[in-house]
Structure 1
Amino acid sequence: MGPELPAALRAAVEALLEGASRKDLARRSAQVSNTYRGGGSSATAIVEDADATAYVLSRLPATYAAVAAALDEVRVAAPDFAPASLLDAGAGPGGASWAALEAWPRIAEARLLDASPVFLETARRLAAAGPAALAGAEMRRGDLTQPGEGWRAADLVVTSYALAEIPSERLEAAVRGLWAACAGVLVIVEPGTPAGTARVLAARELAMREGAMVLAPCAHQQACPLAAPDWCHFAQRLPRGRDHRLAKGADAPFEDEKHAYVALARPDVCRAAPAARVLSPPRAGKPGLEFRLCTPGGIERRFVARRDRAAYAAHRRLRWGDRVEDA
């Protein structure tokens, strides 16, 4: 099971929900989801405080879990990276900032940038319960396609579930601004759809033209070898609380957040040796295990026979998205 919200954030969410009608929040959650699925933006989905609260209840646990998973991969790929400053661009209610502070508690300065004043106010209320860097974070209203003062350099720049709201013709300006603001590592997380992966790959290509090195999830620095209709994405399982289930009209005590991501680094960030990655859920059968891997040499299919006990023992706990050091 994936990461839960930190205890302080859970308490802040509970305070945000205090006195709110769960029925109204469920209705608003459905409306927000329908707006986003229909291609709408936060400007139309998040109009008032109650909309942002509904988003926090229904979507924050999943977006937090996806970002936390991506940041965990950064820590493995660049174990000596120790950011002191953070820019959360397109921050929404600030879930990515919380995930960053969990990954690197020594971050001393945080800035949250978003076009929605409603989201920023919600982020401020939640951040007040967080570590000092969050409680004192600068909350700035800004457009991702128009870099300005809010884009001043930070060691770690994170943008999550934000590029989807940017018209394709303005994506390049946004990515160039993000990379220019990055002094160390840039992490981009998007929904795990073909369109989300396409945006991540476009951002990857643009940043690499500017000298970025790929930390994760890719095992190489070349163009993505996957061909349509396939696409690179992963799934992060996370627990659902009672209110979360009610807001989503769901019975299952967990959900799987499918996401696409890329972590890009300045050349002076020390990187671990590249490793292959499991690209889809492994298939277990009586003869053994089948894997599809992204390797430094391209896409590889690997079969591990059950009778090869040592290899089988080494591979049987691998899951979708895991690194494979021996490939």
Structure 2
Amino acid sequence: MNAPASSSADILRAALAGLLDGLPPKSATRAVERLIANYRGRTPTDAPVLRDRSDVVAYAAYRMPATFEAVCSALEAFAAAVPGWAPGSHVDVGGGTGAATWAVSATWEGGRPVTVLDWAEPALALGREIAAANPELQAAAWQRSRIGSALTIESADLVTISYVLGELTDADRTAVVDAATAAAQAVVIIEPGTPDGYARVIEARARLVAAGFHVAAPCPHSAACPIVPGEDWCHFSARVSRSSLHRQVKGGSLAYEDEKFSYVAATRFLPDPAPSRVVRKPQIRKGQVLLDLCAAEPALTRTTVTKRHGLRYKAARDAEWGDAWPSAGDADAL
């Protein structure tokens, strides 16, 4: 593993803050408000919303830290399921300013060939500029490419697709996922932690499994998701430090916010997924902890861990939403 993701996050935030120095605060706020309203809408891939440098600077400063933390969280769970494996090459589809490339370099040590594909040339240019602060990304290739049915991806150990599928038509979404499965040894897809984002992840997950991939995270299995469609959705949370721009746009005084996301990580080779995973915030009560788990059966279960469970109770009190949870007989994992 690399240095803690927090170190990379600090470097990234410093680089983004430097970019904002030349942009009037009111202009940045207006740009972010407009982009929030439009960027995740029904924008066709031949008309990028990020039109110029000021758009891209504002959006990157506002969204990159949250995307980085969400992808880091997904990659941490994925890396735990593939111990001893590290990607020798990485392609980031629809990577924009490169948040996922920063997350990959924070997760696995050592440099690797990196290619970022995106339609918006201003985003690619800014991503290249920001990457100068990260020694492992200085040689990355930033390529303009239409993200859709005509997409081709060169063979790579890892392909990431983060916060992209929601911008595509149904046909283009299918084509992009299929292009990734054809090119990669491992695919990680991250979407917003909304019912719609989860639905896109589940759709992509089914295509990955049908193509012969094995789910490594977050699911403990590659069978169908046990969640009943329309009744609930699987998502997780990553804490993000708020910048001054965040506070300007959203108001309030909290120094952080929680980024909700859904994801799937799958591999051509056999991973070692968690026996089960905590899929809701643990409920800590007097003398007991209630854990909502997705298990390998597959099934959704609620487990009550009490003081009489000893080390298991201590582990339950320390458990967080999204963590792996060991099987009942696996004392070594506690």
Answer yes or no: is the 8 Å Cα contact 2:40–2:166 preserved in 1: no
- The one-letter amino acid paired with 1:52 is V
The 5-angstrom pairing of residues 1-327 of structure 1 reads 3=6, 5-36=8-39, 38-40=41-43, 43-132=47-136, 134-148=137-151, 151-182=153-184, 184-227=185-228, 228-267=230-269, 271-272=271-272, 274-286=274-286, 288-297=288-297, 298-327=299-328
Give a deviation string over 1:221-264, Cα, whole Å, max 9, x none.
10000112200000111211333322433421000000000001
Unaligned ranges ≥5, structure 1 = none
- The one-letter amino acid paired with 2:244 is R
Matched residue pairs, number? 321
State the shift of 1:213 in Å. Answer: 0.5
State the shift of 1:44 in Å. Answer: 5.0
Q: Secondary structure of the equivalent of 1:6?
A: helix
Answer yes or no: is the 8 Å Cα contact 1:26–1:248 preserved in 2: no
State the shift of 1:275 in Å. Answer: 1.8
Answer yes or no: is the 8 Å Cα contact 1:71–1:103 preserved in 2: yes
Give a deviation string over 1:105-134, Cα, whole Å, max 9, x none.
3232110000111211111111122224x2
The alignment's TM-score, normalised by the length of structure 2, stands at 0.90
- The one-letter amino acid paired with 1:27 is R
Separation of aligned partners in 2, 1:140 and 1:73: 29
Answer yes or no: is the 8 Å Cα contact 1:25–1:247 preserved in 2: no
Answer yes or no: is the 8 Å Cα contact 1:306–1:312 preserved in 2: yes
Separation of aligned partners in 2, 1:62 and 1:6: 10
The alignment's TM-score, normalised by the length of structure 1, stands at 0.92
- Shifted more, 14-23 versus 295-304: the winner is 14-23
Separation of aligned partners in 2, 1:192 and 1:273: 21
Q: 1:245 to 1:211 in 2, by over 3 A?
A: same
Answer yes or no: is the 8 Å Cα contact 2:151–2:176 preserved in 1: no
Separation of aligned partners in 2, 1:122 and 1:61: 15
State the shift of 1:41 in Å. Answer: 6.2
Separation of aligned partners in 1, 2:223 and 2:276: 14
- Shifted more, 168-177 versus 218-227: the winner is 168-177
Separation of aligned partners in 2, 1:153 and 1:191: 27
Answer yes or no: is the 8 Å Cα contact 1:3–1:68 preserved in 2: no
Which residue number in structure 1 is paired with residue 331 of structure 2? none
Separation of aligned partners in 2, 1:68 and 1:259: 11
Answer yes or no: is the 8 Å Cα contact 1:57–1:247 preserved in 2: no
Separation of aligned partners in 1, 2:277 and 2:142: 36
Identity %: 36
- Shifted more, 235-244 versus 17-26: the winner is 235-244
RMSD of aligned C-alpha atoms?
1.9
Separation of aligned partners in 1, 2:28 and 2:259: 21
